[in-house]
Chains A and B, each alone.
Chain A
């Protein structure tokens, strides 16, 4: 089917997608199906083409060249005529001129824009100053750096322990590293099990071999320091005075939507970009998909985030259909409860990779 696009826009239609993640790429693929002539541009601050970050833990098993992680080979983008502007930071969006401003002072014009910038790791205020002593884990480069820093059978202190961290923890345990989890209210993020249910899941983690430290009881981690000589590289201090050591400290407190650059665009923002279930923002030419957007939930009567691979992918597809004249809706009614799967591991209805 060919797109029905407004006649007031340029021909071919210029689709610009900010973000080269799951949502952005799914949208690009669907846009091309719907509009063979459209001009599709993906803008990303990454130097790499889209790769599956779910696969990053695999790098601890065996060194893989980053090309092995790519979701699509380079030729795919050429074949599909999808232009990818890499290593480009979007600094603002001028919705009046319909232009995306890049850090290098170039303005990219669009007819329809999709914001799919995902999120960045959340770090509690008190740890911001110690950021340089924390190993991040969001990119290929990060994963290699952690691998390099970890001595054989070394220990990782995981602050928080969201689902991204717990996926990694499973791999680390299998490779005989020590994993010490310091709990936080965002443990299991984006899930929020509470009370007895939460304790049950923590018990599962312990059974797997994760050493669980009650971070909340310790008043939370307040500082990270370099370990003294003869001790592991890092020391984590707690508000209550206690401390623990590890070769590497990683924080997994969940993600915050990356929306700062949209502030002056006139679109409605709460924490994320606010969209209806059709994923359109308050600006009819701007859509949003993925971790960056808060979608109106009829059931809960609030704007909510819907995380995880399956959700985000679905959003990319819905956004593309609507950007090309469709009338699709993202389903906000879904099962979200964590559960224990047949292998005895914690599983999620939407936090998965397929």
Chain B
């Protein structure tokens, strides 16, 4: 065994510190040089109690998704963790409280739910916490110590992160938590291991840049900051809220502004307004918020105003499932406004992609004078990965605006002048001699209302055609094929976070001797017809896995290319299981 690939699931109740423990774990192992993917599931904030799970996959090599089965489950609350006992693989470990307080009704303790092939580790977590810290609040730190000790990790990276994390709460909190961790660590080291969950010590790899542990939403924020976002308007909604929360701290530090508006309509209106004035502006929301923004988005398209909208999808429709992931806002993102409402829609497939797409969205919005929707989902927003940022600085072009010519005296400024690439030089209020009309009404090149059929046809074409150039946008991955080259039995066509699961499935299929390739489609509008079509030419079968019921992306592909695809549409509220995709690949590969 010379590589590491383990997944730890920490499960507890809100208030147990489950997510905090997961956070320390992922940061500590990332600091050791491991690659990390993590995903936290927590109860709807609007209720504020219930189950929390933090899953952390720790690997030597780059991986793309969480595993279906965890190697180690930690229970801080058996009532929540028991249903997850079955997710632990054979010879994997389950760590739980061996001395709970009070009476335990029959069947409510973890020990009764551990399968014969799994290894139980009942540890007196509460007792250890109480002995060392005088209270049971540090149980999460104790259990973190237990697993660090059992897995043979050095305690130093954990201690460093614990110190940093609790520094603000004062030295007594820090030392209490360090003591709890140490007590657990000693217990872990002294636990006789019967499972076969091992980590190979990681030599810290010399990386080509700065390695950060970021969630998808944190990466979006980093991308916004590196792209010099100027103004943000937003209204909180799960799972997009943390974008606003993080920007609320970051933007003012650089003298920039964030405003929480009274609702999503105001948020998009203000964003468009700021864009109109030349400010780099954005908002973030989820499906229900996007629905409210639909009308205003039409204005941005019609008035050709740059703005960026981050949409993190959750289970829908309506209020739906606020804390469950889904990819069901694709139709709303593509078409969700009246009229022929062209816009750019891009969907990153991993956390690093969130960073790049965030920055590039501003480039595109300004270059093509259009709203750009960056489509995330809860799984991507909340999942953490190690991300390497280039040392050479942000890879974004901060001068993508088409240069504006100086107006001659008496010359009329044609804000919507037709040009070869469809993009007209954009003036902002205050630009000398560039006074013009901006309206939601159809207009002529001067911006003046005009509803003649010629003008409407020409302007519709302009708004449509100018976006096609985005398919060749510099330094942007519109599509990417991975896996076997040439002709393959099965091609997986995926978008958004499901691409990670697709890649994992593809590599498993390779290991089983199946010829298989995968293509990620990052730009969903305008649609990369040629690249996708060429990929499909190479595949005997094209499989489209996506986390929505209707098969929205499959519809899009079939609608545009009029070619058959095999749909794998599921709405489990969680990421698409890798095994499900693999099963389909195997089925298709076996077909003559």
Contacts and interface: CB of A to CB of B under 8 A. Distances in A.
Interface of A: 47-49, 66-67, 74-78, 83-88, 102-109, 141
Given A104-B104, A106-B105, A47 B116 contact: no
Given A103-B98, A141-B192, A88 B122 contact: yes
Contacts of A104: 97-100, 104, 109, 111, 122
B377 to A, nearest CB: 36
B122 A49 contact: no
Contacts, number: 61
B119 A47 contact: yes
8 contacts: A47-B192, A85-B111, A86-B114, A86-B120, A87-B98, A87-B120, A102-B111, A105-B104
A77 B103 CA distance: 28
Contacts of A102: 104, 109, 111
Contact of A75 (B103, B117, B120): B117
Contacts of A106: 104-106, 108-109, 111-112
B194 interface: yes
A105 B122 contact: no
Contacts of B105: 106
A139 to B, nearest CB: 9
A292 to B, nearest CB: 22
A38 to B, nearest CB: 17
B100 A105 contact: yes
Nearest to B110: A104
A304 B116 CA distance: 35
A85 B104 CA distance: 15
- Sorting the interface of chain B by its residue count into under 10, 10 to 19, 20 to 34 or 35 or more gives 20 to 34
Contact of B111 (A67, A75, A78, A87): A87
B115 A109 contact: no
B111 A86 contact: yes
A85 B110 CA distance: 9
B100 A49 contact: no
Interface in B187-230: 192, 194
Nearest 6 interchain pairs by C-beta: A74-B117, A74-B116, A106-B104, A77-B116, A87-B120, A87-B122
B102 interface: yes
B16 to A, nearest CB: 17
Contacts of B121: 47, 87
A75 B117 CA distance: 7
Contacts of B116: 49, 74-78, 84
A51 B517 CA distance: 47
B250 interface: no
A62 B90 CA distance: 25
B424 to A, nearest CB: 70
Contacts of B99: 103-104
Contacts of B111: 85-88, 102, 104, 106
Contacts of B192: 47, 141
Contacts of A76: 116
A333 to B, nearest CB: 38
Nearest to A80: B116
A91 to B, nearest CB: 12
A67 B120 CA distance: 15
Nearest to A139: B192
Interface string B73-105: 000000000000000001100000111101111
Nearest to A108: B106
A88 B106 CA distance: 13
Nearest to B112: A85
Contacts of B119: 47
Contacts of A74: 90, 115-117
Given A74-B115, A104-B98, 12 more contacts: A47-B192, A48-B194, A74-B90, A74-B117, A85-B112, A88-B111, A88-B122, A103-B99, A104-B100, A106-B105, A108-B106, A141-B192
- Which of B91, B99, B109, B121 has the largest count of A CB atoms less than 10 A from its CB? B109
Contacts of B91: 67
Contacts of A66: 194
A140 B479 CA distance: 55
A77 B117 CA distance: 9
A66 B108 CA distance: 29
Contacts of B114: 86
Contacts of A85: 111-112
Contacts of B103: 105
Contacts of B122: 87-88, 104
Contacts of A77: 116
B194 A105 contact: no
A38 B108 CA distance: 21
Contacts of A108: 106
B115 to A, nearest CB: 7
B104 to A, nearest CB: 4
Contacts of B108: 106
A83 B106 contact: no
A85 B120 CA distance: 9
Nearest to B192: A141
Contacts of B102: 105
A81 to B, nearest CB: 11
Contact of A47 (B106, B117, B194): B194
Contacts of B97: 104
A48 B111 CA distance: 13
B102 to A, nearest CB: 7
Contacts of B106: 106-109
A216 to B, nearest CB: 36
A106 B103 CA distance: 6
A83 B85 CA distance: 15
- Which of A77, A105, A108 has the largest count of B CB atoms less than 10 A from its CB? A105
A141 B191 CA distance: 10
B96 to A, nearest CB: 9
Contacts of A86: 111, 114, 120
B306 to A, nearest CB: 60
- Which of B108, B116, B194 has the largest count of A CB atoms less than 10 A from its CB? B116
B130 to A, nearest CB: 16
A49 B91 CA distance: 12
A1 to B, nearest CB: 27
